[in-house]
Amino acid sequence: MSERYRIGDRVRTSDVDPDHHTRLPHYARGKRGTVLDRDGVHPLADLRAQGIVQEQEVYLVRFTAQELFGQGDHSVTLSLWEDYLSDE
């Protein structure tokens, strides 16, 4: 399996609010961030909750508070499966 993103890449998270389980929190939907590191390969949580195991790259993605909340000078880092991400 080869990863789609590299460290330093700019990415955008999905803005879809699915009606199934997901590990992409509301506050981080449709936001732009930077790939900080790879975070292993793990079964996609959305599918695993439905009994389907599909291993996928996970990335540590860092967002500025400004991007997430429109205010603040801190950063927030999340682990995001490749399915949650697209090119900026």
* Contact residues: other proteins, CB under 8 A: 18-28, 39-40, 42, 45, 58, 60, 65, 68-69, 71-81
Residue 3 to residues 7, 35, 38, Cα–Cα distance (Å) = 11, 12, 9
Q: Which is nearer to other proteins, 9 or 83 (CB)?
A: 83
Element counts in the chain: helices (H) and strands (E) = 2, 5
- Min CB(15)–other proteins separation in Å: 13
- Min CB(8)–other proteins separation in Å: 17
Query: How does DSSP assign 53-76, residue by residue?
Result: --EEEEEEEEEEHHHHHS--S-EE
Q: Which is nearer to other proteins, 12 or 77 (CB)?
A: 77
Q: Which is nearer to other proteins, 4 or 77 (CB)?
A: 77
Gap between the Cα atoms of 22 and 1, Å rounded: 22
- Min CB(21)–other proteins separation in Å: 6
